[in-house]
Structure 1
Amino acid sequence: MFDRQPRTAAVPPGWPPLVPPPEAEGWQVPAVSWLLDFCPADYRLYASWRRQPVALAWLATRHIDAQLVAMRQAYREVRVELGEHLTDEGLAQVLADLESEGVRLLAARRSAGLVYDALQGKRYVPRL
């Protein structure tokens, strides 16, 4: 006899670790909570985002995109705007933090895009 391991659904690279795969029953509930974490806190007050998760995913991707624009602009301008008010070490730390936040946001944008696709019914098929 063979040991039968339960098959786990394949998810694409970048799928949020806290969100079960789209084939899992009820996966949209944790997906909605995860998406709301990338939106303004007041968005949790609107029931429509929970009832229409594809709309929430669409909007969350836009919020993340806007945050990326802000991080990139801040990175370009911080030396000019704050250079005389920060020590060299302080400026270096601010630049490093902006870079780290940009990397985090890029990963979040990929993940949110994947969730958005899954909410639209698109499924990931792994390549051999």
Structure 2
Amino acid sequence: MVMFEQPEEEEGAVAQEENTFEVTEAIPDVELFGFKINTRSIQVFSGVWVAYSHVDFSGNQYILEKGFYSTSADWGSRDTRICSVQPVRLAPADGNRTRNEVSLLIFPNLFLTAPCSMF
């Protein structure tokens, strides 16, 4: 996935070179990698990603599937703030579940498990 930074609007300034951020793993705070939190657009090359409006995978969540998101409205936000991102990965299979299931915690110790075909 590649994130394209929203350029700062400075009156009378020469256009800045566009800053991009290539993401290949979970990033809890994009600013630690020199990327500002205002994102102009996103290109997802493979997989499914979750972008968050706050650091440490918190705040509003935006599901990003393969494709190009030219504006924040394309990923479902009213603003350009993305502070952390992580890929959606399958959990390792254990003896009780298959790899193609999604488990949701409904109440403490009560899980709803359903087949999943999105991966």
Per the normalisation by structure 1, the TM-score is 0.20
- Rg bigger for which structure? 1
Kindly indicate which of the two structures has a greater share of residues assigned to strand: 2
RCO (CA 8 Å, sep 6+): is it higher in 1 or 2? 1
Kindly indicate which of the two structures has a greater share of residues assigned to helix: 1
